[in-house]
Chains A and B, each alone.
Chain A
Amino acid sequence: DTGVSQNPRHKITKRGQNVTFRCDPISEHNRLYWYRQTLGQGPEFLTYFQNEAQLEKSRLLSDRFSAERPKGSFSTLEIQRTEQGDSAMYLCASSYRSGFEGYTFGSGTRLTVV
């Protein structure tokens, strides 16, 4: 059990650029979740997958955001045309069979848009 791995840990980008984050869940976990956390707030749900199927998306996930989980293993979260309001910590989590068991979170990717 190597835990949930997220890369990169930090990303600084200029407004208008595209960025992509990667999450590698615990290998036997079939659920994968993305959350966003801004300063002084709790994590906010973005989307989740069961294997390769994206089962739910938040309305926070605007058209500029897209997430994939090809082959049901790692996942990527892409933000196109970044805005300053996208600056946040992006957290990935996974769970074995159900989110009701509780998640295992990664350490997050901190995005700063300048």
Chain B
Amino acid sequence: AQSVTQLGSHVSVSEGALVLLRCNYSSSVPPYLFWYVQYPNQGLQLLLKYTSAATLVKGINGFEAEFKKSETSFHLTTPSAHMSDAAEYFCAVSDLGGSEKLVFGKGTKLTVNP
């Protein structure tokens, strides 16, 4: 089965700083990859997805992620953090064998300091 590792359960940055949230997956077979954002007491919202097209994927709210097969990574970045970016971010990967279920990481809580 697939597994997802998100390094850093908490990341804290200053407003305007670069944000880097790390995600590594286990399979050597390129999967479908997703980043979701969750605001307090809300469901998850899709930020962006990689589905075997361009390796650099742009999403909503100024976020982007780069798929690196050799590193089995799909890190999420934004060049300039806004206060409104404070939330929890989840990386997810499609499971093996064609299943449509997603395997999620444990999440990274992003704090943006003024």
Contact = CB atoms under 8 A, between A and B. Distances in A.
Interface of A: 4, 6, 31, 33, 40-45, 48, 55-56, 58, 91, 93, 95, 98-108
A45 B101 contact: yes
Interface stretch (B14-22, B39-47, B62-70, B73-81): B39-47
A91 B105 CA distance: 16
Interface of B: 4, 9, 32, 34, 36, 41-46, 49, 51, 90, 92, 94-95, 99-107
A4 B46 CA distance: 13
B44 A43 contact: yes
Given A105-B44, A105-B45, A107-B42, A33 B101 contact: yes
A102 B36 CA distance: 9
Contact of A44 (B32, B51, B100, B104): B104
Contacts of B46: 102-104
B43 to A, nearest CB: 4
B103 A45 contact: yes
A103 B102 contact: yes
B43 A105 contact: yes
B37 to A, nearest CB: 11
